[in-house]
């Protein structure tokens, strides 16, 4: 552990020793002390080259922002406060998602803008173009604690290699925490590691706890120092600043996620920069419903409408206002008509109201919320299109032109029908008979992006696939998502259009929520796992909103 000398004396001595911690000696320094990282791991770690004269390490926060130490960009690294907002003084390059720097995996981007924190050795660096398919770290919400085991990864010098090509990982122990600084000790932090992530694992997901700033460099090649301690800058208590800064260029759209767990019904919002808010207890703010069987949500006119099927088979509606407050659940069964055996609902915005799909005793029903928020009675879709035996799931979305796309999983087969803008219906079409589609279905979700219907489907043997149906009714080839989501039966799938992009969420067999999105250019993000919901998740719902 680090010595017990005063904090001021410790930092002064450390600064005098490692003020050049980000400065290159000869060629770029590129890996940390510790063990070489396994291929493809810790892909959020970024190697930063500043003008060919200095190297640092950083962390990918989302598709277009990296966080690192401000001193990396200072003419004199001892004076990080001299760095100004705007373009870096020297052409600066970020390589991310590349464990071995001699490979061609990952992405290379230029830094176009720096946003330094006003009083910390922290800077946010905007990339000239988004990166796709690479995992990133969310800032922590809790400070490190003394004695806590932490991890690190970096591209700095090692004990025996001056210019390594390999990302290395490190183990640290947190020492004292004072203000913005946490002392860390363990594996050496060497030149080129300045700005590297110090992170922890929570419920299987890594989160950024701090950013390295200064070190003794004990054990690093070319150093006679024996002390291995270092100082890192906390990020948990500046998370609002990070979110506000990195959201400004990402748009105003959000994904709102609802999950039913073993302990209740919870709600979270994903900001456009990829950060999730804490999960709030819906029944605490909107009223308790006994034995919730299923839940769904859709956003329109600044409200997020939440629907729940209670143990009594009734349908309840609440909504979250754009101010963040909630209108309480009310039983809308008298408005819709009582359908005994109701087990599932799905809902989508129609632009002027909502379209609600219900599943009761194997029959599919449809109702509409009018612009004045009144409801039509349930219409019997099965009476029009035919009964699908052993129906277990429903999904619904709207595509441009006012067409409502309805999906049903029945007898382990997937079906699709369209309610056209004039109120007429197509026949059921069997998705699992399409040439490249799976032959069985466990769960399914729809999302309309413009005139396209996007579908994600999981099979009983754990294969997950995605396809698009265009406005003319033509289906694309089904692409395999199993390499992203793993081969596992996903009993609950949800999807939504968010700012023209296809976002999806799933529940794994162990009750973990997974999320990913497909951008308008066809690129997929790495899978993210929001955490913090009480209990074990069994079902998710997803919608997009601008509030």
Q: Where are the domains of the chain?
A: 7-244, 251-545
Q: How many other C-beta atoms are found inside a 10 Å radius of the C-beta of residue 184?
A: 29
Q: Per-residue DSSP letters for 312-373? A: TS-EEEEEE-TTS-EEEEEE-HHHH---TTEEEEEEEE-SSSEEEEEEETTEEEEEEE-TTS
Helix (H, G, I), strand (E, B) or coil at 85: coil
Instruction: Take residue 382 and report the two structure tokens written for it.
Output: 């099965």
Per-residue pLDDT of the chain (547 residues; tens, 9 = 90+): 233 334 444 444 444 333 333 333 322 222 344 678 788 889 999 999 999 999 999 999 999 999 999 999 999 999 999 999 999 999 999 999 999 999 999 999 999 999 999 999 999 999 999 999 999 999 999 999 999 999 999 998 877 776 678 899 989 999 999 999 999 998 878 889 999 999 999 888 899 999 999 988 888 888 888 887 899 999 999 999 999 999 866 667 889 999 999 999 999 999 888 999 999 999 999 999 999 999 999 999 889 999 999 999 999 999 998 888 999 999 999 999 999 999 999 999 999 999 999 999 999 999 999 999 999 999 999 999 999 999 999 999 999 999 999 999 999 999 999 999 999 999 999 999 999 999 999 999 999 999 999 999 999 999 999 999 999 999 999 999 999 999 999 999 999 999 999 999 999 999 999 999 999 999 999 999 999 999 999 999 999 998 6
Q: Which is it for strands 205-215 and 138-139: parallel, antiparallel or unpaired?
A: parallel
Q: What is the CATH number of domain 7-244?
A: 2.40.10.120
* CA 146/CA 326 separation, integer angstroms: 39
Q: How is domain 251-545 classified at the architecture level of CATH?
A: 6 Propeller (2.120)
> CB-side exposure of 491: number of CA atoms within 13 Å?
10
Q: Which is it for strands 501-507 and 513-518: parallel, antiparallel or unpaired?
A: antiparallel
In terms of Cβ atoms closer than 10 Å to its own Cβ (0-12, 13-18, 19+), residue 343 is middle
> Model's pTM, two decimal places?
0.89
Within the chain, what is the greatest distance between any pair of CA atoms?
A: 83
Tokens 């799931």 — which residue? 393
Q: Where are the beta strands (DSSP E) in 102-261?
A: 107-116, 123-127, 138-139, 149-154, 168-178, 181-186, 197-202, 205-215, 230-234, 254-261
């Amino acid at each position: 552990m680090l010595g017990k000398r005063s904090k001021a004396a410790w930092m002064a001595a450390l600064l005098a020793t490692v003020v050049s911690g980000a400065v290159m000696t000869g060629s770029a320094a590129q890996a940390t002390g510790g063990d070489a990282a396994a291929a493809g791991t810790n892909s959020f770690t970024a190697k930063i080259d500043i003008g060919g004269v200095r190297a640092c390490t950083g962390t990918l926060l989302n598709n277009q922002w990296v966080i690192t130490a401000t001193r990396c960009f200072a003419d004199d690294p001892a004076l990080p406060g001299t760095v100004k907002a705007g373009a870096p003084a020297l052409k600066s390059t970020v390589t991310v998602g590349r464990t071995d720097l001699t490979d061609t995996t990952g992405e290379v981007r230029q830094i176009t803008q720096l946003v330094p924190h006003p009083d910390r050795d922290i800077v946010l660096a905007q990339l000239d173009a988004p990166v796709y398919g690479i995992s990133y770290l969310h800032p922590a919400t809790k400070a490190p604690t003394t004695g806590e085991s932490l991890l690190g990864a970096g591209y700095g010098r090692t004990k025996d290699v001056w210019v390594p090509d390999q990302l290395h990982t490190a183990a640290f122990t947190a020492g004292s925490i004072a203000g913005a600084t946490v002392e860390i000790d363990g594996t050496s932090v060497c030149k080129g590691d300045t700005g590297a992530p110090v992170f922890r694992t929570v419920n299987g997901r890594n989160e950024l706890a701090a950013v390295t700033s200064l070190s003794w460099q004990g054990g690093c090649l070319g150093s006679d120092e024996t002390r291995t301690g270092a100082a890192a800058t906390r990020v948990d208590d500046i998370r609002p600043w990070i979110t506000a800064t990195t959201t400004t260029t990402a748009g105003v759209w959000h994904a709102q996620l609802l999950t039913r767990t073993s302990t209740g019904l919870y709600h979270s919002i994903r900001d456009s920069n990829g950060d999730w808010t804490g999960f709030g207890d819906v029944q605490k703010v909107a009223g308790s419903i006994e034995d919730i069987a299923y839940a769904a949500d859709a956003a329109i006119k600044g409200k997020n409408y939440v629907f729940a099927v209670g143990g009594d088979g009734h349908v309840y509606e609440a909504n979250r206002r754009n101010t963040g407050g909630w209108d309480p659940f009310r039983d809308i069964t008298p408005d819709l008509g009582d359908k005994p055996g109701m087990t599932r609902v799905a809902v989508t915005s129609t632009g002027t109201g909502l379209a609600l799909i219900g599943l009761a005793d194997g029959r599919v029903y449809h109702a509409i919320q009018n612009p004045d928020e009144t409801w039509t009675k349930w219409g019997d879709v099965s009476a029009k299109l035919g009964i699908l035996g052993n129906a277990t799931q429903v999904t619904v979305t709207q595509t441009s032109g006012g067409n409502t796309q309805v999906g049903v999983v029945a007898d382990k087969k997937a079906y699709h029908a369209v309610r056209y803008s004039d109120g007429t219906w197509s026949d059921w079409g069997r998705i699992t008979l399409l040439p490249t589609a799976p032959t069985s279905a466990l769960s399914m979700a729809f999302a309309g992006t413009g005139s396209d219907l996007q579908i994600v489907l999981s099979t009983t043997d754990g294969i997950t696939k995605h396809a698009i149906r265009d406005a003319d009714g033509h289906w694309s080839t089904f692409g395999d998502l199993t390499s992203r989501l793993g081969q596992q039966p996903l009993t609950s799938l949800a999807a939504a259009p968010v700012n023209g992009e296809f976002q999806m969420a799933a529940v794994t067999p162990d009750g973990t929520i997974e999320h990913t999105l497909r951008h308008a250019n066809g690129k997929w993000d790495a899978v993210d796992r929001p955490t913090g919901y009480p209990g074990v998740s069994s079902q998710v719902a997803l919608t997009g909103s601008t509030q």
